[in-house]
Amino acid sequence: MAQQLNSFWMSTEKSTTIVGVGVAEGKVGVNKPELLPKEFTPVIDVAGFLSDGQEKRLTQEITDIEKDTGFKLRVLAQNYPDTPGLAIKDFWQVDDRTIVFVADPTFGNILNFNVGVTVDLDIPRSFWSRLAGTYGNMFYWKEKGEDASIEAAVMAISSCLREPVGPNNCSEIK
């Protein structure tokens, strides 16, 4: 079910789940630390999809997720190749409890996820594909906007992470 992430990188010494829709050929890794903000933030919007108010709301939601669940959600909105790329790994201190959500409409589906090993143990892999299919498809984001896709996905991830782990957790996209 995991597919090659089409607008992002990510390899670590430990295994990760990489979910995206579509496979890009000939992708070149990007490393542009100059596109990173000066101060830490869990939301980086180099594409300009989000308003300041949306960024603040998402940042608060992500802060609450981390406090309540211990999982780290990080959101990067980009238009490949205009991305900090590999530089986000150190900036965000990506680890096994991190979900890196890359919103990039370059290849059709705007939602792409890189999921740490510990997250992968608690969240069914099918959740990420269903999430991308629901809020990331071109019909959804072209009608509602990239910002609506990003916000809906963050809220669905928040809901999923707060569910008790079990055979039916994250079975619905909320």
101 domain residue, yes or no? yes
DSSP codes, 11-79: --SS--EEE-SS--SS----B-GGGS-SS--SEEESS--S-HHHHHHHHHHHHHHHHHHS-EEEEEE-B
172 domain residue, yes or no? no
Rounded average pLDDT over 131-148: 94
- Domain total for the chain? 1
Largest CA distance in the chain: 43
153 domain residue, yes or no? yes
11 domain residue, yes or no? no
Q: Out of 3-7, 73-77, 80-84, 158-162, pick the least confident.
A: 3-7
Which residue in this structure is represented by tokens 């869990």?
42
101, β-bridge pairs: 75, 113
171 domain residue, yes or no? no
Q: How far apart are alpha carbons 22 and 136 in whole angstroms? A: 12
For the chain, what is the mean pLDDT?
85
5 domain residue, yes or no? no
**pLDDT tens sequence across 67-112:** 999 999 999 999 998 999 999 999 999 999 999 999 999 888 999 9
- pLDDT exceeds cutoff 70 at 5: no
pTM: 0.84
Which domain range does residue 33 map to? 17-162
150 domain residue, yes or no? yes
Quickly state the pLDDT bin for 172 (edges 50, 70, 90). confident
Within a 10 A sphere around the Cβ of 161, how many other Cβ atoms?
A: 21
Decide if 151 contacts 56 (C-beta within 8 A): no
Rounded average pLDDT over 153-174: 91
User: Do the strands 98-103 and 111-115 form a parallel or antiparallel pair, or are they unpaired?
Assistant: antiparallel
Q: Which CATH number is 117's domain given? A: 3.10.310.50
Rounded average pLDDT over 44-57: 97
What share of the chain in percent tops pLDDT 90? 71
